[in-house]
Chain A
């Protein structure tokens, strides 16, 4: 369980706020998506949870423990972190990347090796085949799987994910979405997921917090948001997935069963 109370961040002594008075609560086993356009403060909010960014004011707790009073290094070792663009260590092979946190924690070698294999299985990669590979020898999707495996290595209850699927092609992204759903159920993970892609948030999250200019405009389950946006900006964020869904729907039910030639607009023009 993660709680944020009136958390703010300013880099210029209050002239501007990157994050302003944000209060959130993420229940155990829940996935919360932080959604918004770039610069809205969603990544800053995420990084304050594991103190990669120090809040200017407010209170943050993970499992009842005051994050701001914890040792930041120890805190981060206990929280899974998946970064935008993966951030695998290019000079380490897959096994070493995945075993990074257990090694920092001083696990015995054999235990780390066993854990690495277990995690590779979990993310659907054959250990014998991938263990010794360098990150540059992997596809984008494989790298992201290793990134998730690395975040999970020390069995954290909480995982922070910053645009984890941003750089992937749609098919890979879709596959990884499904896998993440399975993994989080299996491990009962509490996840905070930052994304600018509302469709991704709607499909993955239990609840969505829409952020704009440092503030949370609205929090709710996907269904609630779709039924009642409650705010013009939130509505505009939802417009794209809605239109896409409608067009796909109309395409499927269009008379003649042909392609875009039949007058239905090309899905690619949806934006």
Chain B
């Protein structure tokens, strides 16, 4: 990994860090503003206390990525800053609630009794005695919350909020170690710095030291101001929605990143402003384009056919493309401009030497050996209807199955850690690792023609449609696989691959 690679990544830091800070500060600010008064109320009211603590604890048990993703359908397909901030607010609650309640309850009863005994009102007891004495515990809760929120904010990338997580998600997908390192280190440094500054403020307050207070205030101003400065014009995360930008969504794999850039280039070439939102969860992206919070994306006919329409038959590709297009328009007002021209199908793949040794060429052949083999797939693969159809049509039964990140499974099968993978047919690593794709002779997988999809609102923009139409049927399997390979195998940047692919499209 060269220093240049890091320099490339660091150029993205101002934007990612600034957005991350916006998200963190908003979530913490709102979180404290809600949790603290609620907890103080709960100190006095026992049933509320139990309810609040239980709620906060239950929220905490929901995996953070799931909580973030859940916000999108709950908000009617809204993606980006708002769902991410709401999820983080919920996440920030537990340490603040728990520490406030235990902190206030932990104040010496004799002191509270004395406060009442000399004639303080309940409010005065709280504000003059209980809160100041519980402050160290409450602030410890705020510090814990801060560290959690900074960390969990990295997971807001899949719901479309830019954060330091963009480094990590895209870095994982494109195996870009320098991106992952920069993202992790930046998040860790941010968490530690904010934690230290809050501690400094606390020390300043408890020692009544003006000097420490000034130091803490300057420190906070520098850290917050410095990181927010590059994004301040965006008006706290809403700018993207206010401005007339075309939002282009991409799922979490290389091909999607490349296509999003190709689309963005065309949009900008037509004099429109484009914004790409990458690493969105698959269902998040679908909800978003249906709701119109994303304008343009590429999805696959088979995915919509099987997952969203619930079909398990597999007629010919042309009919599927046609029916999917009609269904999208009817059910969601989403316009399919047409197929891009390539198909990225799910396919079972295995090492060539294994396949030859076992004499496996089709999935039918595989069925004879599957009971001693381990299969791996991406996170959604085993939950998809196609997987069920596959098992049923071929009578497949594997010894074991493992879900893993799609970038890792090619290496895993090549190194013999698993025997069969649910691969993507356009993935350049199939060639690079010398894997063979098994024929789906019984058509368990529907055709996965890539479709160029526009939200209802985006489709009404004639300039945008005119800019994108040349992409229809312009990218064949070979061109797409080559572009993917540039990134996944040759370690070129996504932008380079996008430029290469755009050249094959022409105008």
Q: How far is the CA of A201 from the CA of B424 in the complex (A)?
A: 91
What string of 1s and 0s marks CB contacts (under 8 Å) between B135-171 and chain A? 0000000000000000000000000000000000000
For the complex formed, measure the closest distance between the CB of A39 and the CB atoms of chain B, giving whole angstroms. 18
**From B112, which residue of chain A is reached at the shortest CB distance?**
A87
* Given A89-B129, A104-B124, A150:B118 Cβ within 8 A: yes
The interface residues of chain A, by DSSP majority, are classed as mixed
A18 at interface (Cβ–Cβ under 8 A)?
A: no
Which among B108, B114, B119, B129 is the interface contact of A73 at CB below 8 angstroms?
B119
CB closest residue in chain A, given B206: A91
Complex interface residues of chain A between 54 and 84 (CB less than 8 A to chain B): 73-78, 81, 83-84
Asked if B133 is an interface residue, CB under 8 A from chain A, the answer is yes
Complex CA–CA separation, A76 to B124 (angstroms): 14
User: B119 contacts A52, CB within 8 Å?
Assistant: no
Known: A85-B110, A86-B110, A91-B133. A73 touches B117 (CB 8 A): no
> Quick check: is B392 within 8 A (CB to CB) of the other chain?
no
Pair B111/A104 contact, Cβ less than 8 Å: no
Instruction: Report yes or no: A83 in contact with B119, Cβ–Cβ below 8 A.
Output: no
Q: Which residues of chain B come closer than 8 Å to A158, judged between CB atoms?
A: none
Minimum Cβ distance to chain A for residue B131 (Å): 10
| B10, CB-defined interface residue at 8 Å | no
User: Does B118 lie within 8 Å of A81, measured CB to CB?
Assistant: yes
The total of chain A residues at the interface (CB under 8 A) is 24
Chain A residues, CB < 8 A from B116: 52, 76
B121 within 8 A of A: yes
> A119 interface residue, CB < 8 Å from B?
no
* Contact (Cβ within 8 A) B120 A83: no
B120, A50: Cβ atoms closer than 8 Å: no
Contact with A along B1-21 (1 / 0, CB 8 A): 000000000000000000000
* Closest-CB distance, A78 to chain B (whole angstroms): 8
> Known interface pairs A89-B129, A91-B132. Does A76 touch B113 (Cβ–Cβ under 8 Å)?
no
Residues of B with C-beta under 8 A to A73? 119-121
Q: How far is the CA of A76 from the CA of B108 in the complex (A)?
A: 20
Q: Is residue A219 within 8 Å, beta carbon to beta carbon, of the partner chain?
A: no
Query: Contact between B120 and A104 (Cβ–Cβ < 8 Å)?
Result: yes
B118 / chain A contacts, CB cutoff of 8 Å:
76-77, 81, 100-101, 104, 150-151
Quick one: which of A52, A74, A87 contacts B110, CB cutoff 8 A?
A87
Q: Is the CB of A255 closer than 8 A to any CB of chain B?
A: no
Q: Is the CB of B119 within 8 A of A88?
A: no
Judging by beta carbons under 8 Å apart, are B111 and A90 in contact?
A: yes
- Bound-complex Cα distance A76 to B110 (A): 16
A93-115 interface with B by 8 A CB criterion? 100-101, 104
CB distance from A130 to the nearest CB of B (A): 19
B65 within 8 A of A: no
Interface residues in B78-110 (C-beta closer than 8 Å to A): 108, 110
Of B108, B115, B118, most buried by chain A (CB within 10 Å of CB) is B118
* B121 close to A87 (CB less than 8 A): no
**Of A75, A85, A86, A90, the contact of B119 (CB 8 Å cutoff):** A75
Task: Say how far B444's CB is from chain A's closest CB, in angstroms.
Answer: 71
Return the chain A residue nearest B124 by Cβ.
A104
Partner of A83, one of B110, B129, B132: B110
Q: How far is the CA of A266 from the CA of B27 in the complex (A)?
A: 70
- Please name all residues of chain B whose beta carbon is closer than 8 Å to the beta carbon of A87 when the two chains form the complex: 108, 110-111, 113-115, 117
Task: Report Cα–Cα, A52/B133, bound state, in Å.
Answer: 22
- Complex alpha-carbon distance, A83 and B118, angstroms: 10
Residues of B within 8 A of A91 (CB): 129, 132-133
Q: Is the CB of A50 within 8 A of B110?
A: no
| Bound-state Cα–Cα, A90 to B120, Å | 16
Complex Cα distance, B133 from A49, in Å, reads 28
B80 nearest CB across to chain A (Å): 44
**Nearest CB on A from B370, distance (A):** 70
Contact of B113 among A52, A75, A100, A150 (CB under 8 A): A52
A88 to B115, CA, bound (A): 9
Please, which residues of chain A bring their CB within 8 A of the CB of B119?
73-78, 101, 104
Contacting residues, chain B, for A52 (C-beta < 8 A): 113, 116-117
Q: Is the CB of B121 within 8 A of A88?
A: no
Given contacts A87-B111, A89-B111, A90-B111, contact A81 B129 (CB under 8 A): no
Complex alpha-carbon distance, A73 and B116, angstroms: 8
Of the candidates B113, B117, B119, B132, the one having the most CB atoms from chain A within 10 angstroms of its own CB is B119
Closest residue of chain B to A76 (Cβ to Cβ) is B119
Q: Per-position contact with A for B334-350: 1 when CB-CB < 8 Å, else 0?
A: 00000000000000000
Do the beta carbons of B117 and A83 come within 8 Å of each other?
Answer: yes
**Complexed CA–CA distance, A127 and B42 (Å):** 41
User: In the complex, are the beta carbons of A89 and B115 less than 8 A apart?
Assistant: yes
Per the bound structure, the CA–CA distance linking A78 and B118 in Å amounts to 8
What is the CA–CA distance of A86 and B111 in the complex, to the nearest angstrom? 8
B137 CB, min distance to chain A CBs, angstroms: 14
List of B residues within 8 angstroms of A85 by Cβ = 110
Of residues 413 to 439 in B, which have CB atoms within 8 Å of A's CB atoms?
none
A84 to B114, CA, bound (A): 9
| Contacting residues, chain A, for B124 (C-beta < 8 A) | 104
On chain B, the residues within 8 Å of A151 by CB distance are 118
Residues on B with C-beta less than 8 A from A81 are 114, 117-118
Q: How many angstroms between the C-alpha atoms of A59 and B205 in the bound complex?
A: 47
Distance of A87 Cα from B125 Cα, bound (Å): 13
- For the complex, what is the distance from the CA of A151 to the CA of B113, rounded to whole Å? 13
Chain A neighbourhood of B113, CB < 8 A: 52, 83, 87
**In whole Å, how far is A229's beta carbon from the nearest beta carbon of chain B?**
33
* B117-A50 in contact (CB<8A): yes
Q: Quick check: B117 and A76 within 8 Å, CB to CB?
A: yes
Q: CB-CB < 8 A to B111: which residues of A?
A: 87-90
Q: Which residue of B lies closest to A81 (CB)?
A: B117
What's the nearest-Cβ distance from chain A to residue B247, in Å? Answer: 52
Residues of B within 8 A of A100 (CB): 118
Q: Could you say which residues of chain A place their CB within 8 Å of the CB of B108?
A: 87, 90
A154–B132 Cα distance when bound, in Å, is 24
Complex Cα–Cα for A223 and B121 (A) = 42
A151 to B117, CA, bound (A): 9
Within 8 A of B (CB), among A230-265: none
List the interface of chain B (C-beta within 8 A of A). Answer: 108, 110-111, 113-121, 124, 129, 132-133
Q: A100-B118, A104-B119, A160-B117 are in contact. List 6 more A-B contacts (CB 8 A).
A: A73-B120, A76-B117, A86-B114, A87-B114, A88-B114, A91-B129
A-B contacts, 30 listed (Cβ < 8 Å): A52-B113, A52-B117, A73-B119, A73-B120, A74-B119, A75-B119, A76-B119, A77-B118, A77-B119, A81-B118, A83-B114, A83-B117, A85-B110, A87-B110, A87-B111, A87-B113, A87-B114, A88-B114, A89-B111, A89-B114, A89-B115, A89-B129, A91-B129, A91-B132, A101-B118, A104-B118, A104-B119, A104-B120, A104-B124, A151-B118
| CB-CB nearest 8 A-B residue pairs | A87-B114, A77-B119, A76-B119, A81-B117, A87-B110, A85-B110, A83-B114, A91-B132
